[in-house]
Structure 1
Amino acid sequence: MIVIIFAIISIILCNFDESMRWGTYKPQLIHAVTQRNMKTFNPITGALMYADHIGTDDRSLVYKIPDLNTEQVKINPVHHNGKDFNVQVISDPNTKSIIQTTLIKFPIESKVNFVDEIKTLNIEKPLSLFYVLTIEQFNQFNLETRTFEVNVTNHGIRVSTYNEDETRIEHFFITITVNDRNYQYNCTDEKLSNLTIRTLFNDYIFNYDPRPTLMQAIFSNSTNTNNSNLVAIEFRAQPGDNVIIQVTQTDKYIPDYGFDNLEQLSDSLAAVNRFNFKKVFGTDNKCAYSSFSNLMAGLLFTYGNLSCVINKDTCTAFKPMLSHTPSRFGFPRPFLWDEGFHNMIACKINPDICLQSLEDWINTMSIDGWIPREQPRSEELRSYIPWLKEDPRESNPPTFFFNFEYLIDNHPEYKERIGKIYLKLFSWYNNWFRTQAIFNDQGKFSGFLKWWGPDEDSNLGSGLDDWPRTDGSKVSKYNIDAQSWGYFFTFHMAKLAKLYDVGIVSSLEQRLELILNKMNSDMLDPNDLIYKDILYYPNTDDQVFYSPHRGYVNLFPLGLGLIDKSRVDIIQQQINFMRSSTMWTQFGIRSLESNSTEFRKKSNYWTGPIWVNIQFLVLRALKLYYWEIDGVQQFYRDLRSNMIETICSQYETRGYFYEHYNQNLDGLGQGNRPFNGWTSLITLIIAEKY
């Protein structure tokens, strides 16, 4: 077993980018710097906590975004490039405080790996600031054990880790300045001292939440300095204080200083960051830049297993995962089809992060080609959604192929690396078709596809959750969005096969033709020229019906560019459909027609609200595939303008990007916030980089 584990680790390390070892990889926390430890998968994490009072309820220690009322508390990633620089401002009216966090990482050859700074911009009442260092144990095999040692000097607080042979590994040097003066760390008068250092050991580290342990220590005043895996540095600030806590980290020597000119360095890096953004996206639009920064702030690294309906190999195996997340507040975990949209932005500015994310996702594949669509790979992440169990019959739209296409077309240096996972991609493709395609009695693919769901009217795998799939007693026979994604998947597998496996290209192209022919012959309603789901009465194949529900599902043939340019009548009818009063609003296109019997029913999730990712697919297709067709350009300009106004005005007035937007009268942002996921596609919409 040990030999196998080390073999797996050595393979992973081959593609490890050392510059990505530290980062804000716990986006569900207000601010944390954590280690992407690819040797043992047991990271060190440094996290900010704060409280205006310490009550018996451990939630009085603020540090998790999901614990906040984010309509009141504003978490604003001012700058975040996903790699080596970020600045965030936390405005909390409950504690009457404004706190700025700054993380700067340095090149690999530097003596210092990073500097993490906590700075108070405004304090109106007493506030306790905590910087908490922890050693976590994600790896059940315990390949190493590290503990902390703390030393207080005249210059600051030195925290070092030791392994079992008492060799120093990492060093953290913490300095504190108050109102531009260095703090006197060795002050022995408790009445004058605002500083408390606690060192503790507890096994909470399997499910990261140090608050209960820290609360216990605060009230008992007890500490244990031997073999600690938690160091909590508390500084009690007073109203009007300007407090700066700096954490300098290195592996190569023991630091003994802070950075006097970090603000100047930060300003310079901010200018460089904006310059690079404009160079890539061709715009310095504030909303586009903020949207991008929000997406990068949601980058997560985790390691662990999954909870599944059936314990397949990918569920029981402990695996690493680097991925963006849809929402630091509501969905602080990786989602499959979401990540394909996220990477449409990330690939353009951080292609190395984009490809690493794709590789991690593909490496979570089961031996028979299934990739779980939602991957909370740790006890910590599962604590947000303990009832979730992944089902191997469930798939998700294969949006990763937007990313592979971009990387191969624009970064030929990655072709060989992508080629190494080609066979896994083909295995995923085969599994996807086995679970979502319809086969005849002879076991032959019929040319039709339908999403598998736990019941006839629930399709989490489709990504459109509660969008109506039934009509009375009639249920789905074929789904037009599954049909469209099936064509998309096959098209891109054929494109990859031309590079890596030419022998199967012909069979894939034959399947493409079959899927498209069936879509045009059986799923295009001749009465309104709209592609639709096909329904039938269960236990009979005698008669089929076009679904009466129209909305986002019907837009996928257009949004994925599957409609032949020569069928101008169909394309113009799609535009007329989206322009109709039942679909069109000044804020964007509704997810379901307002005259549908299911409009705003169920969870009112995909049954009315405006979602950015579908608008993006429509805009992208119109620009790339149908630009010369009469009426397209004006519709494109109108929809693009509406989306920019809706999303950016909400960000300006309310401080957040939202999960979806109200289709009714006001276009207000709704659902989870901050939603740093595919709402960030507004960056590409503004830049017109499709």
Structure 2
Amino acid sequence: MAKRRKRVLTGDGVPSPREEKAPAPPRREKKKKTDIGKVFINISIGLCIFSLIWFFYALYMRSALARRVVTLHPSPRVLNATSSSPAVSPDQFWGSYRPHVYFGMKTRSPRSVVTGLMWMRQFADVDGNLRHTCEQGDRLQGYGWLMHDGVSFGVQEIHDRDFTLTTEFVKRMGGDHGGDWTWRITAKQHSSAAMAPVISLMFYAATDVQGSLQAHVEEKNVLSSVTGTSEELGNFKITFGKPTAGEGATGKYAKYNYLQTRSPGLDKLTDIAKNSLNHKFIFSPPKGEKRSYFAVDSHKVMTHHNQQQDPKIEGDFVVHQVTVQTPFQIEVLFESGSFHDRPNQLVGSVLTDELERRKVAFNEKFEGTFGLQAKEFTSSQIKFAKAALSNMLGGMGYFYGQSVVQSVYNEHPLLYPESPLFTAVPSRSFFPRGFLWDEGFHQLLLSKWDPPLSLEVIAHWLDLINVEGWIPREQILDDEARSKVPSEFIVQHNENANPPTLFLVLQKLVDQLETDPDRLSSHLPVLRRLYPRLQTWFEWFNTTQAGPMANSYRWRGRDKDTNLFLNPKTLTSGLDDYPRASHPSSDERHVDLYCWMALASGIMANVARILGEPHKVYENTHLTLSNNELLNELHWSDNLRVFSDYGNHTQAVSLQQEKVYVPPGQPRHQFPVTRLVRSVRRAPKLQYVNALGYVSLFPFLLHILTPDSPKLEHILRDIQDPEHLWTPYGLRSLSRTDPLYMKRNTEHDAPYWRGPIWININYLAVRALHHYGSIEGPYKEKAAAIYQELRTNLIKNVYKQYLETGYIWEQYSDSTGRGQGSHPFTGWSALTVLIMAEKY
């Protein structure tokens, strides 16, 4: 039974108010408690839903950002898909667009039939010395184009150990597929050769997946011709002439062999030919001993086809080998099936006459363009200048394929969209592909020779730009190109820039358009299509490469492993190991990039003005960056009296052997190999980088300094000082007094931009001296005097090294003037022609 509640009475027997029944708690208070719980639950559910939405949105955005690196710019392409076709550009359809081989031709099409030449010396000390792709290891005494007009003909000499091959070609228009062409190969022994060498020439044709070839064999197993067909070429025929002692001479004794097989890729052609060589064949001239020689042999070729793969990935490959003793001459004729009304075959005397006519036209155009005879250069110097120009024209390549790229939003590299690129290359042997910052210098020369060709090259490069405004700085577009590149350099990262040197060419183009109404009307449509891409490109630089302070700039992509590098490299600047701040950080300011942006903003303003587009933003940017007070504030070091980078820096660094402890009695080989690592003896601090060299000159090189700037006096003084930049051969890249002068950057990384003389920067220096020596200012006479001396030194040394070595070089020793680095390097080193012509 429940316990009864006790009642408390008041004095009159009335129950106390406390005893009255307590009212029920208000219902609303209980309701309030329940509402708070529901609100909390609802908020929790809402947050979960929001988090899920945000998560999936973030995934979507990351995916979208990841795709941006491979999304091309949305504006209409500057060049349409048929711009290189034989219907639109028949005279440039065929060409020597394979700069990585000693001699070869292809069409400007994505999957071209390619033709080429291999050769080897028979009965030599080294068996199987097959030549095909340009290799420095072949140690040729020299090779390169002596004449090449970029369109219709070329003459090249290749100096092997005891003989010289002269390769000539001429094109003739006709039909619907780029017309005909003929090769003439002439071989002569060197006067120093003990006996006439026997040489095997191997002419070949190969298809790149598309098209087919058919070999036609005569009696005695001699390949007489190859017929074929492809989408771009239609039907065609290649006929192999018999060797003679010269034009009109009788035939010579020769042995013939041929190879017909399949190739998994154009990058495998050398290996297939080399692996097919057999020593069983006999060379038996009428008045000579019988000897075994090497020849291609179809029976030795191993199939490259994987039965699980699609056979369409392979292409046809046909080789015609002729083995003959020097001297001799052979012609190879290509005839287009659509050329129905040809008057005669382009062989023999017809070919000779056509070659002579093209040579006369080339010489006349060369003198009309550069005027070297009028400047009283010798015939030998003019021949050198023609070779320099011709090697750049003969080094033009047409590439098609996909770059490998990556952004911070990609876990793995991606393939860039398939694209064509028509470009010059720095070096046929070492860099036979497109480089963004090199190309601006190349086009300074080529725009003088052929302005429409130069404009087309610029358009090809800007058609590669993605939606962000980024252009991959090194173009490695196909298997042939990748076969020449170390794997660590193949992937291109979209935060990395390269100097926008194409603006140097656009500057000249804009100057011409403003003074030539006829050229303005013809080039205006192309410039209008270029403009939205230029806008995005400039904006990409202006945002992604911005520095820590307003109007400052910083190269991204510096090497981050400061333990291994004496000074972490800045490949993106184009100046690789040139000394920057010793400890990379986001506090850096780079004076060369500042100057590139000052130049680019001014040109953007001029282009916008010509096109009637808004130009004030570019003009204001240019006025700001051209303000010498701002330049001084950001980059002038009063202590050093030079323009400098700024960053986290110390000079007290060196490379030292790493210490590895080996316990007593333990074998040394079981422990890590010691390396050279960086030792920092004094902590870095934010300061100006105390390096005097090319970077210090950029306000002068790109004409940012006003002609009355007192800083110009300091620059001219440093240029003339032999302890700093002056040499009898050109301006060295880094002062001799610098702690990093000619110092290795790693154990295996020799000095590159730490002393040697580079022609591209010397060209800018000569151009700047000419500029400041031609306008009024307190330093006019001094600049003009230095100009004359520096110009003379550069021409004299590059020419001298060419005569002595047979090559134009990547760089030149600041102590001896000797050519060094890769060779032939007829990229920007060919700017010597413009220095000779005084065309700035």
> Under a length normalisation based on structure 2, what TM-score does the superposition of the two structures give?
0.72
SS in 2 for 1:30: coil
Contact 2:403/2:477, CA 8 A, preserved across alignment: yes
Contact 2:77/2:529, CA 8 A, preserved across alignment: no
Identify the residue that residue 129 of structure 1 maps to in structure 2.
201
User: More deviation in 411-420 or 281-290?
Assistant: 281-290
Identify the residue that residue 600 of structure 2 maps to in structure 1.
489
Contact 1:85/1:269, CA 8 A, preserved across alignment: yes
Q: 1:668 aligns with which of 793, 797, 818?
A: 818
> Under a length normalisation based on structure 1, what TM-score does the superposition of the two structures give?
0.87
Identify the residue that residue 130 of structure 2 maps to in structure 1.
61
AA matched with 1:405: Q
Identify the residue that residue 600 of structure 1 maps to in structure 2.
742
Q: 1:423 to 1:73 in 2, by over 3 A?
A: same
Measured in 2, the distance between the counterparts of 1:146 and 1:532 equals 57
AA matched with 1:630: E
Q: 1:59 to 1:373 in 2, by over 3 A?
A: farther
Measured in 1, the distance between the counterparts of 2:588 and 2:227 equals 62
Number of positions where the alignment pairs a residue of Structure 1 with one of Structure 2: 651
Measured in 1, the distance between the counterparts of 2:623 and 2:639 equals 24
CA-to-partner distance for each residue in 1:591-632, whole Å, 9 max, x for gaps? 000010000012310000000111111111222344241311
Contact 1:74/1:655, CA 8 A, preserved across alignment: yes
SS in 2 for 1:353: helix
1:583-622 alignment to 2 at 5 Å?
583-601=725-743, 602=745, 603-622=750-769
CA-to-partner distance for each residue in 1:123-158, whole Å, 9 max, x for gaps? 822211100111113xxxxxxx41112335799933
AA matched with 1:414: H
1:235-254 alignment to 2 at 5 Å?
235-238=322-325, 240-253=326-339
1:570: Cα distance to partner?
1.9
Q: 1:14 to 1:675 in 2, by over 3 A?
A: closer
SS in 2 for 1:302: strand
Q: 1:470 to 1:519 in 2, by over 3 A?
A: same
Q: 1:476 to 1:31 in 2, by over 3 A?
A: farther
Identify the residue that residue 806 of structure 2 maps to in structure 1.
655
1:688 lines up with 2:814 in the alignment: no
SS in 2 for 1:13: coil
Q: 1:473 to 1:454 in 2, by over 3 A?
A: closer
Contact 1:176/1:183, CA 8 A, preserved across alignment: no
Identify the residue that residue 62 of structure 2 maps to in structure 1.
none
Contact 1:465/1:606, CA 8 A, preserved across alignment: yes
Q: 1:492 to 1:473 in 2, by over 3 A?
A: closer
Measured in 1, the distance between the counterparts of 2:79 and 2:396 equals 24
1:455 lines up with 2:559 in the alignment: yes
Measured in 1, the distance between the counterparts of 2:465 and 2:237 equals 37
Q: 2:348 aligns with which of 257, 260, 265?
A: 260
Contact 2:78/2:526, CA 8 A, preserved across alignment: no
1:402-481 alignment to 2 at 5 Å?
402-410=504-512, 411-412=519-520, 413-438=522-547, 446-455=550-559, 457-471=568-582, 477-481=588-592
Measured in 2, the distance between the counterparts of 1:648 and 1:10 equals 38
Measured in 1, the distance between the counterparts of 2:707 and 2:213 equals 65
SS in 2 for 1:613: helix
Identify the residue that residue 317 of structure 2 maps to in structure 1.
230
1:282 lines up with 2:371 in the alignment: yes
Identify the residue that residue 149 of structure 1 maps to in structure 2.
214
AA matched with 1:334: G
Measured in 2, the distance between the counterparts of 1:54 and 1:13 equals 49
Gap regions ≥5 residues in structure 1: 1-6, 138-144, 186-191, 441-445
Contact 1:53/1:128, CA 8 A, preserved across alignment: yes
1:54: Cα distance to partner?
9.1
1:9: Cα distance to partner?
12
Q: 1:294 aligns with which of 387, 391, 396?
A: 391
Measured in 2, the distance between the counterparts of 1:9 and 1:638 equals 43
Contact 2:153/2:358, CA 8 A, preserved across alignment: yes
CA-to-partner distance for each residue in 1:178-218, whole Å, 9 max, x for gaps? 22578889xxxxxx86122322222233x353432563373
Sequence identity (%): 24
Contact 2:100/2:428, CA 8 A, preserved across alignment: yes
Identify the residue that residue 625 of structure 2 maps to in structure 1.
515
1:533 lines up with 2:645 in the alignment: yes
Q: 1:577 to 1:466 in 2, by over 3 A?
A: same
SS in 1 for 2:833: helix
SS in 2 for 1:509: helix
Identify the residue that residue 345 of structure 1 maps to in structure 2.
445
Q: 1:175 to 1:469 in 2, by over 3 A?
A: same
Q: 1:10 to 1:280 in 2, by over 3 A?
A: closer
Measured in 1, the distance between the counterparts of 2:223 and 2:584 equals 72
CA-to-partner distance for each residue in 1:358-404, whole Å, 9 max, x for gaps? 11111111121100111011111011114112111111111111222
Contact 2:551/2:625, CA 8 A, preserved across alignment: yes
Q: 1:654 to 1:241 in 2, by over 3 A?
A: closer
Measured in 1, the distance between the counterparts of 2:258 and 2:463 equals 41
SS in 2 for 1:606: coil
SS in 2 for 1:99: strand
Q: 1:163 to 1:563 in 2, by over 3 A?
A: closer
Contact 1:475/1:537, CA 8 A, preserved across alignment: no
Contact 1:160/1:170, CA 8 A, preserved across alignment: yes
Contact 1:199/1:228, CA 8 A, preserved across alignment: no
1:173: Cα distance to partner?
2.4
1:348-359 alignment to 2 at 5 Å?
348-359=448-459
Measured in 1, the distance between the counterparts of 2:441 and 2:80 equals 28
Identify the residue that residue 404 of structure 2 maps to in structure 1.
307
Measured in 1, the distance between the counterparts of 2:455 and 2:414 equals 20
CA-to-partner distance for each residue in 1:25-44, whole Å, 9 max, x for gaps? 1111011111112xxx1111
SS in 2 for 1:221: helix
Contact 1:19/1:108, CA 8 A, preserved across alignment: no
Q: 2:141 aligns with which of 73, 94, 108?
A: 73
SS in 2 for 1:365: coil
AA matched with 1:512: H
Measured in 1, the distance between the counterparts of 2:828 and 2:609 equals 30
1:107: Cα distance to partner?
3.3
Measured in 1, the distance between the counterparts of 2:509 and 2:218 equals 50
Q: 1:65 to 1:502 in 2, by over 3 A?
A: same
SS in 2 for 1:584: coil
Q: 2:245 aligns with which of 179, 184, 196?
A: 179
1:159 lines up with 2:159 in the alignment: no
1:62: Cα distance to partner?
0.9
1:286: Cα distance to partner?
2.7
Q: 1:475 to 1:589 in 2, by over 3 A?
A: farther
1:18 lines up with 2:110 in the alignment: no
AA matched with 1:394: N
CA-to-partner distance for each residue in 1:161-188, whole Å, 9 max, x for gaps? 13599x9522222222322578889xxx
Q: 1:172 to 1:219 in 2, by over 3 A?
A: closer
Contact 1:171/1:253, CA 8 A, preserved across alignment: no
Gap regions ≥5 residues in structure 2: 1-75, 191-195, 278-295, 303-310, 374-381, 513-518, 561-567, 651-683
Q: What is the RMSD of the two structures over their aligned residues, measured on CA atoms?
A: 3.3
Measured in 2, the distance between the counterparts of 1:604 and 1:247 equals 48
Identify the residue that residue 551 of structure 1 maps to in structure 2.
693
SS in 2 for 1:127: strand
AA matched with 1:372: P
SS in 1 for 2:188: strand
SS in 2 for 1:591: coil
Q: 1:476 to 1:453 in 2, by over 3 A?
A: farther
Measured in 2, the distance between the counterparts of 1:595 and 1:469 equals 16
Measured in 2, the distance between the counterparts of 1:231 and 1:350 equals 36
Q: 1:563 aligns with which of 697, 705, 709?
A: 705
Identify the residue that residue 87 of structure 1 maps to in structure 2.
155
CA-to-partner distance for each residue in 1:224-257, whole Å, 9 max, x for gaps? 9x9971111100112x441313223324258995
SS in 1 for 2:138: coil
1:355: Cα distance to partner?
1.3
Identify the residue that residue 52 of structure 2 maps to in structure 1.
none
Identify the residue that residue 722 of structure 2 maps to in structure 1.
581
